[in-house]
Amino acid sequence: MEYRSLGKSGLQVSALSLGSWLTFGKQITDEVAGQLMEIAYEAGVNFFDNAEIYANGQSEVVMGNLLKEKNWDRSSYIVSSKLFFGSSQAKPNQKGLSRKHIMEGCHAALKRLQLDYVDLLFCHRPDKNTPIEETVWAMNHLIAQGKVLYWGTSEWSASELMEAYLVAEKYHLIGPTMEQPQYNMLVRDKMEKEYLHLFKHYGLGTSIWSPLASGLLSGKYNQRMPTDTRMNTDGLEWLKERTLQEQWIEKTCRLTELAAKTGVSMPVFALAWCLKNPNVSTVILGASKTAQLQENLQAIEAVKQLTEQVLEEVEQILQNKPEQPQF
Amino acid sequence: MEYRSLGKSGLQVSALSLGSWLTFGKQITDEVAGQLMEIAYEAGVNFFDNAEIYANGQSEVVMGNLLKEKNWDRSSYIVSSKLFFGSSQAKPNQKGLSRKHIMEGCHAALKRLQLDYVDLLFCHRPDKNTPIEETVWAMNHLIAQGKVLYWGTSEWSASELMEAYLVAEKYHLIGPTMEQPQYNMLVRDKMEKEYLHLFKHYGLGTSIWSPLASGLLSGKYNQRMPTDTRMNTDGLEWLKERTLQEQWIEKTCRLTELAAKTGVSMPVFALAWCLKNPNVSTVILGASKTAQLQENLQAIEAVKQLTEQVLEEVEQILQNKPEQPQF
Amino acid sequence: MEYRSLGKSGLQVSALSLGSWLTFGKQITDEVAGQLMEIAYEAGVNFFDNAEIYANGQSEVVMGNLLKEKNWDRSSYIVSSKLFFGSSQAKPNQKGLSRKHIMEGCHAALKRLQLDYVDLLFCHRPDKNTPIEETVWAMNHLIAQGKVLYWGTSEWSASELMEAYLVAEKYHLIGPTMEQPQYNMLVRDKMEKEYLHLFKHYGLGTSIWSPLASGLLSGKYNQRMPTDTRMNTDGLEWLKERTLQEQWIEKTCRLTELAAKTGVSMPVFALAWCLKNPNVSTVILGASKTAQLQENLQAIEAVKQLTEQVLEEVEQILQNKPEQPQF
Amino acid sequence: MEYRSLGKSGLQVSALSLGSWLTFGKQITDEVAGQLMEIAYEAGVNFFDNAEIYANGQSEVVMGNLLKEKNWDRSSYIVSSKLFFGSSQAKPNQKGLSRKHIMEGCHAALKRLQLDYVDLLFCHRPDKNTPIEETVWAMNHLIAQGKVLYWGTSEWSASELMEAYLVAEKYHLIGPTMEQPQYNMLVRDKMEKEYLHLFKHYGLGTSIWSPLASGLLSGKYNQRMPTDTRMNTDGLEWLKERTLQEQWIEKTCRLTELAAKTGVSMPVFALAWCLKNPNVSTVILGASKTAQLQENLQAIEAVKQLTEQVLEEVEQILQNKPEQPQF
């Protein structure tokens, strides 16, 4: 396993990590979940990603039980949670980024995970109804109380992140360490354009989600389109339009051929491509089967197949390289 | 129920809330208190207001027992306390806003309430004998310790609040989130003039008390004057003069007619009038009978009866609209 | 002459000072103006007060010419101006407290006064349309440029002053040194109540205007009422009501008798009363005749006549001592 | 003329203003330029906009001569310049936002304009090669020296502006007051989406350019397409594609009909539409003929024709209303 710094922080995170999203407490049995964690941990994965909303808290419950069962040294792994959505029946103050929900949400997550602290706590979305001061303060209080080690964001804009740094600077507090954006061959703008200044000047780390574009880049839809329903729940809302879908399926077919030429499977190819971006701290894998996880873990090794020339061919196929700003 | 932000904070507070003042542990049995809380909570009220001085701490004891009994999700409601007066036999350091009393008073309130934290902690009055730095720091320590989520003031002047913001700015601390002023058709200057700059530029929230002017605006004195004694204990000290009282009773009679025309009772009319002010975050209701509370909760619906024209007629009767500063 | 510190600053200001308001360039000839300045300066007065709006700038022109003519050592006296009202035909940006008007208004005043700098520059009123940051910054720029030595305010509320201190603190700038409020036996609230905290904790100095309540306390209206017109222009708008006027004339008659008993004239008595307040840094005199100024300068000596007992009798007559806040 | 605050600043800017771009010192004679300024000033326009790059500095030379000739009171108008592009033959350090170019560029602009200070100085574009600290500091030095009253930006992203606020906060400096973005019926995202948070929470003001989309919205191309060349120089680079052009011409034809129904010409309609946006501080007009300017100045009056219903019809035609962020 390769380890990378989480942005400018001192934390070392495995380049591939495991998320509980859509699987733990939902699609898979707790037994399979345990096997997945075992495989990952044995392969050197040290980061396990969660959120309060994943399976309405059940993902965290399952992972908490497994961590207790495995009884690995607490200092050997990193666990996260994310706050914002609350649960599916959230009342006022049971969601968002107010101090009340951050405090109560963190306590609830720790309880579900049966942990004293999470290593990473993410603001799962920006909250237009809470001044960012309140959120930055609350995160710092949790750090001061020892319940959180590093705080970050997910799907925030560059200007929202910049405001978080501003507020942290203003109050002499700790700013965000990492952001969790979607990133894959289809969705590139944030990682390759919008956040560039933050990577260079503010040392932002990233734990990226959906590296396979909700499975599209695994090649499994090469023959058959996903239904709109599936796409909506998986974060592919932007790909609803049929023409666009067809274009992407076609590109994925060509990428699959290219991957085969380099000797790796399509999903491994797509994951390795994400790992090539030095601003990616870790790529979060989801898996519902052990074989799938074992395959995807090969992405670390596959990175070396991605020569300059292969990457150039990828760009030829994708035709979506973000333009850099003129000034 | 309607929910409003508590000033610029991320906290959502029900537009009507329930206070324990004069009733819990005093005028009413614990059984009635429990019924009142049940009715309020079912109607969507999420804020329950207390102070250390209310019934010498007994109001908090009663509410604490009831919250334990009800076993509602802690994140579904907001509880407050207020420090300053201590108890009726307070020795030196058992009152005021020194760090000692704020720390000790908060712990005592939490014990009476059987809670780990209060959502809101108010400085019940300004304390000329304690530097404001000491108070602002103490409140921030309690927030850092997780015992208080938001701190505020009650019956502070604009310049005292401004100084609290100054001190918070100076030491990079969290300033006051909310103020609890008296506000009703008879007492308008603070809410409609003095605090305007704080609302606009500092995002001050408000939880207003005495929306019915100690019952005067309920119409219950329309036929018969309250005794001086009652008025003093209820915060109507300024209305001691007989001529003034007579004027106000007469105005209330006219308001009662106007309320009837719009189809609502006088107390509901007076409460809805308070709710119309967008700088009111929540109106604290007191009640000694369940029927009274049920009636008053209708104020949310009654707001829509207060058309521009009705409000204009109210001003014609009141003749006390605060003049805005010339510059 | 007695000299007092201007608040907590190092500047020594004569307890009596001379203002150009209503007289210089307006009611009196330049010759008389010159005689008044000569008398004042000889008596030890070291502060000469102006504003851009006084006689539409003409007061400053006259005083500038006289200062040039007298050729006194620049370091032996203090000159002020005040910005806010612009001139009587002010266009947008030619009035108020924006950086533009403060810069341009200061330059224009310096030109009229034929000076390189004013010792004191006042914000003549608060400006609701300009953020206080902008004003505090602009004043500090002028200080940095050597065009102003101390900046202050006139007729600001305690909370507006507090905000000025807050902003100065926030940006590490110089806050207001002095305020110029109306103060006399009839108008006491700001000096004796509202500003107390600022005097004690922020070291605010004061140069008070209208110590004779636009002449009412000189005793000249004891026999005959001023017309409404005169009162309006002189800042006695609040005294328009006839009953109120009659009450005050009657009180002034009684004060005149008391003054006579202590051996001083009524105006001298009223001025000495102002000087007794230790929070008054200087009392600004206006005069249209040399004899009047010579008489009023005796107030310094007259202060010693104001024994505890005399002051007590004054309170008996005035019946307007501001109540101190309970908390 | 209507006057608006430039963001949260105390500066009052006429809702319509006059820019020298493409005309002064280039398309028009100095005589026409003088007539345009006279017409504008007489109509109440108080802001005249320039940049170092406009006609390679010649625009400023012409305007400087005219201002000297007109001899209007300096405090009655606002003049700007913009730095970044230098001149067409700029060597290293003769462009960009380094301290060197900001200082030297400002001095050169003041010399061309024959002024002691400009009211507004813009960073004409972001400069990736200069740390923003350097730029913010340089602007503050110019303000401290009295050579600039307010500084701002042009065509910066929200996150670049946020960083400017961060740096100003960090060093206790003055942040940007205004931004000059392109804004018109065709180009809406920055003004109606990206900057919203900055308008609300940071008080950013705006002086918008290209309100007629380089003439497209004047209706003059309704019959005939502009050549690509013209479009590029005028800031319509994004509209190069022929299909897109045709769509916009077609929409402009429909808008022209709607404008006629409301009784105003197409350019006046398009300008009034910009003025309806409360986050627009001023709309910069360009004109090469006096009749054109006189017509465009009617936009102030035309605003009242833009009823809710008309605006709704505009949206029906435009179909480009920016979507608000979900969170």
Band of residue A246 on the pLDDT scale cut at 50, 70, 90: confident
**A198 in a domain, yes or no?**
yes
Chain D residues in contact with C99 by the CB 8 A cut-off are 9-11, 143, 149-150
Contacts of B278 (CB under 8 A, 6+ apart): none
Please give the share of chain A, as a percent, with pLDDT higher than 90: 88
Band of residue D234 on the pLDDT scale cut at 50, 70, 90: low
The angle that helices C30-42 and C58-70 make with each other, rounded to 10 degrees, is 60
The whole-number pLDDT of residue C259 equals 97
pLDDT digits (tens, 9 = 90+) for D117-154: 999 999 999 999 999 999 999 999 999 999 999 999 99
Look up residue D96 and give its amino acid: G
The angle that helices B242-262 and B308-318 make with each other, rounded to 10 degrees, is 160
Helix then strand then coil, % of chain A, to nearest 5: 50, 15, 35
Q: Is C92 helix (H, G, I), strand (E, B) or coil?
A: coil
The answer to whether A39 and A290 have CB atoms below 8 angstroms apart is yes
The answer to whether D38 and D75 have CB atoms below 8 angstroms apart is no
D149 touches chain C (CB under 8 A): yes
**A241 in a domain, yes or no?**
no
**A120 in a domain, yes or no?**
yes
**B73 in a domain, yes or no?**
yes
Enter the DSSP assignment of B182: B
Element (H, E) at C200: helix C196-202
pLDDT digits (tens, 9 = 90+) for C242-282: 777 888 899 999 999 999 999 999 999 999 999 999 999 99
pLDDT digits (tens, 9 = 90+) for C196-236: 999 999 999 999 999 999 899 998 888 766 555 455 555 66
As beta bridge partners, residue D13 has D4
Chain D residues in contact with A197 by the CB 8 A cut-off are 159, 163
pLDDT at A239 > cutoff 70: no
CATH number, domain containing residue C190: 3.20.20.100
pLDDT at A7 > cutoff 70: yes
Domain extent, residue A121, equals 3-215+268-302
Nearest 10 degrees: Cα torsion A7, A8, A12, A17: -10
Look up residue B259 and give its amino acid: A
**D326 in a domain, yes or no?**
no
The answer to whether B266 and B296 have CB atoms below 8 angstroms apart is no
User: Total structural domains in chain A?
Assistant: 1
Q: Enumerate neighbours of B (3 or more CB pairs within 8 A).
A: A, C
Enter the DSSP assignment of D48: E
The answer to whether D67 and D18 have CB atoms below 8 angstroms apart is no
C157 touches chain B (CB under 8 A): yes
Contacts of D147 (CB under 8 A, 6+ apart): D106, D107, D110, D116, D117, D118
A to B CB pairs, distance under 8 Å: 67
C320 CA: distance to closest CA in chain B (Å): 17
C171 touches chain D (CB under 8 A): yes
Look up residue D250 and give its amino acid: E
pLDDT at D213 > cutoff 80: yes
> In the annotation, is D221 catalytic?
no
**C187 in a domain, yes or no?**
yes
Chain C residues in contact with D5 by the CB 8 A cut-off are 129
The answer to whether D122 and D106 have CB atoms below 8 angstroms apart is no
pLDDT digits (tens, 9 = 90+) for C303-319: 999 999 999 999 999 99
Contacts of C191 (CB under 8 A, 6+ apart): C181, C183, C206, C208, C277, C279, C280
The whole-number pLDDT of residue A326 equals 67
The answer to whether B25 and B59 have CB atoms below 8 angstroms apart is yes
**C24 in a domain, yes or no?**
yes
Q: For A109, phi and psi rounded to 5 degrees?
A: -65, -45
What Å distances lie between residue A4 and A18, A206, A275, D141, CA to CA? 15, 10, 11, 42
Interface pTM (ipTM) of the complex? 0.93
Note the Cα D98 to chain centre separation in Å.
23
The answer to whether B43 and B297 have CB atoms below 8 angstroms apart is yes
Pairing of strands B78-83, C47-49: unpaired
CA angle B4, B10, B15 (to 5 degrees): 15
Tokens linked to A324 = 């850099």
The answer to whether D55 and D85 have CB atoms below 8 angstroms apart is no
Hey, of B161, B163, B193, which one would you mutate to test binding to chain C, going by the most C CBs within 10 A of its CB?
Answer: B163
Q: Is C118 helix (H, G, I), strand (E, B) or coil?
A: strand
Tokens linked to B260 = 């009837």
The answer to whether C151 and C180 have CB atoms below 8 angstroms apart is no
Chain A residue with minimal CA distance to B8? A131
Q: What is the CA radius of gyration of chain B?
A: 19
**D40 in a domain, yes or no?**
yes
Enter the DSSP assignment of D114: T
Enter the DSSP assignment of B116: S
The whole-number pLDDT of residue C224 equals 67
The answer to whether A217 and A184 have CB atoms below 8 angstroms apart is yes
Chain D residues in contact with A126 by the CB 8 A cut-off are 325, 327
A to D CB pairs, distance under 8 Å: 47
What Å distances lie between residue C252 and C222, C234, C310, CA to CA? 7, 18, 15
pLDDT at A229 > cutoff 80: no
Cβ pair D166:A161 closer than 8 A:
no
